[in-house]
């Protein structure tokens, strides 16, 4: 099946859009209402770049929601389940957001820019509107907007030498999720040690939307000695590494899940003295007992193609869970998957199956991450 999605004003272009098209982007997805490159024509060698060298990704669709003003910290704490303790500018955190039913609705990286200014670097759901409504209903004194900030990721083992070549040796000492301001030939940036892979690297948040093509070219040029190539966050590496993709794993499949089920229980501060969205529901969920868990699966048989819908997992004809994503892993030479399974099913279960292209495929449970 081949078709096109029309370019039009209803979907936004990233500040790196022109640069990625010129660089050979062949396929885009839509994330936070914005085109995001999916691959550049050769996903297999783009994956190899990520594992062995360094890949550069237009992840500007990881949009920022800025919360600023006297009550900014109060709102940020109220929106996330995590007990943030001390909040320190320059120190990012992974912060689940839930709705009032205790279902995950986003899992952003929180960037405390200043004491009264924060960014949520969001996954694929409309947190700007959600935050505006909650702030208004609670009468908090904040301004909520989308700042001029667009991340370009460099990921892979050689990203560290590339960052050092671009910005200097301080990048070697930057700790995970920490960030600071920097300039590249006058281009204003935030440089963060982060990124949506487990191969290590940085995210360069461009702070001037007019300079996307320029930044892309400079990073590409500086990356040449390290074998840099364009790419995109990919299913294979993300599933191998067990990283959650909120949109894919929960939202677009219409399968809400709570943080306990998703393995994010440590990031739910039920002992917090202050209230937060979802606290009451999450307390009740824990008291009632968590009934399902997110895990990996190995799907027997020849290479599968990526699924477009959740796939029910069957045990003796009963539905006991679902696969949210599956992919052929070239590194493991196996079909690997993530999904949710009922806790009545043991890790050693040998009677699990899915239907794939009209045939039965057996599967077994495997721990995350795969690698």
Residues in the site for ligand THG, rule: CB under 6 A? 62, 94, 107-109, 121-123, 151, 194-196, 203, 243-244
Q: How far is the CB of 123 from ligand THG (least distance, A)?
A: 4
State the number of CA atoms in the 13 A half-sphere of 219 facing the CB. 36
Q: How far is the CB of 214 from ligand THG (least distance, A)?
A: 21
Q: Could you tell me which of 333, 340, 330, 335 has the C-alpha nearest to residue 357?
A: 335
Hunting for tokens 């936070």 — which residue is that? 32
Q: How far is the CB of 118 from ligand THG (least distance, A)?
A: 13
d(CA 84, CA 306): 37
d(CA 367, CA 300): 16
Hunting for tokens 């930057």 — which residue is that? 174
Around Cβ 147, how many Cβ atoms within 10 Å?
Answer: 15
Query: Could you tell me if 365 and 347 are in contact, meaning their C-beta atoms sit under 8 angstroms apart?
Result: yes
Strand pairing class (187-192; 201-206): antiparallel
Q: How far is the CB of 62 from ligand THG (least distance, A)?
A: 4
DSSP state of 333: T
Q: How far is the CB of 108 from ligand THG (least distance, A)?
A: 6
For ligand THG, the closer CB: 260 or 356: 260
For ligand THG, the closer CB: 130 or 356: 130
For ligand THG, the closer CB: 35 or 356: 35
Q: How far is the CB of 233 from ligand THG (least distance, A)?
A: 8
Query: Could you tell me if 127 and 96 are in contact, meaning their C-beta atoms sit under 8 angstroms apart?
Result: no
Q: How far is the CB of 361 from ligand THG (least distance, A)?
A: 28
For ligand THG, the closer CB: 207 or 349: 207
Q: How far is the CB of 79 from ligand THG (least distance, A)?
A: 15
Q: Which two tokens stand for residue 191?
A: 């440089």
Please report, for residues 110, 155, 233, the alpha-carbon distance to residue 62 in angstroms, rounded to integers and kept in the order given: 12, 15, 11
Q: How far is the CB of 242 from ligand THG (least distance, A)?
A: 7
Query: What are phi and psi for residue 264, nearest 5 degrees?
Result: -110, 20
End-to-end CA distance of the chain: 33
For ligand THG, the closer CB: 195 or 229: 195
For ligand THG, the closer CB: 84 or 314: 84
For ligand THG, the closer CB: 294 or 361: 294
Burial letters 180-216, b for 16+ CB under 10 A, else e: eebebeebebbbbbbbbbbbbbbbbbbbbeebbebbb
Query: Could you tell me if 275 and 287 are in contact, meaning their C-beta atoms sit under 8 angstroms apart?
Result: no
d(CA 105, CA 208): 29
Q: How far is the CB of 161 from ligand THG (least distance, A)?
A: 21
- Chain length of the chain: 371
């Amino acid at each position: 099946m081949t078709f096109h999605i029309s370019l039009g004003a209803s979907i936004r272009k990233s500040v790196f859009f022109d640069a990625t098209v010129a660089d050979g982007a062949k396929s885009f997805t839509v994330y936070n209402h914005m085109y995001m490159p999916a691959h550049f024509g050769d996903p297999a060698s783009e994956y190899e770049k990520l594992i062995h060298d360094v890949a550069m990704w237009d992840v500007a669709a990881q949009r920022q929601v800025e919360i600023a003003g006297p009550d900014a910290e109060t709102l940020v704490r109220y929106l996330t389940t995590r007990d943030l303790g001390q909040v320190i500018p320059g120190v990012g955190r992974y912060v689940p957001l839930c709705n009032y039913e205790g279902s995950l609705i986003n899992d952003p990286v929180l960037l405390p820019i200043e004491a009264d200014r924060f960014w949520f670097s969001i996954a694929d759901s409309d947190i700007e509107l959600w935050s505006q409504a909650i702030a208004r209903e609670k009468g908090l004194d904040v301004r909520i907007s989308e700042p001029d900030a667009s991340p370009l990721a460099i990921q892979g083992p050689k990203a560290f030498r590339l960052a050092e070549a671009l910005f200097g040796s301080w990048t070697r000492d930057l700790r995970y999720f920490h960030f600071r301001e920097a300039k590249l030939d006058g281009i204003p940036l935030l440089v963060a040690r982060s990124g949506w892979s487990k191969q290590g690297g940085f995210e360069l948040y461009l702070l001037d939307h007019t300079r996307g093509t320029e930044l892309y070219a400079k990073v590409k040029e500086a990356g040449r000695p390290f074998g840099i190539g364009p790419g995109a966050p990919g299913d294979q590496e993300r599933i191998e590494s067990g990283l959650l993709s909120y949109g894919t794993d929960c939202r677009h499949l219409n399968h809400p899940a709570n943080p306990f089920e998703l393995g994010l229980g440590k990031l739910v501060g039920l002992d917090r003295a202050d209230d937060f969205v979802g606290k009451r529901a999450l307390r009740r969920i824990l008291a009632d007992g968590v009934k399902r868990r997110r895990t990996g699966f190995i799907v027997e048989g020849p290479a599968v193609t990526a699924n477009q819908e959740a796939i029910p997992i069957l045990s003796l004809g009963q539905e006991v869970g679902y696969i949210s994503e599956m992919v052929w892993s070239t590194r493991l030479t196996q079909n690997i998957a993530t999904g949710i399974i009922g806790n009545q099913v043991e890790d050693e279960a040998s009677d699990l199956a899915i239907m794939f292209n009209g045939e039965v495929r057996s599967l077994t449970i495997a721990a995350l991450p795969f690698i």
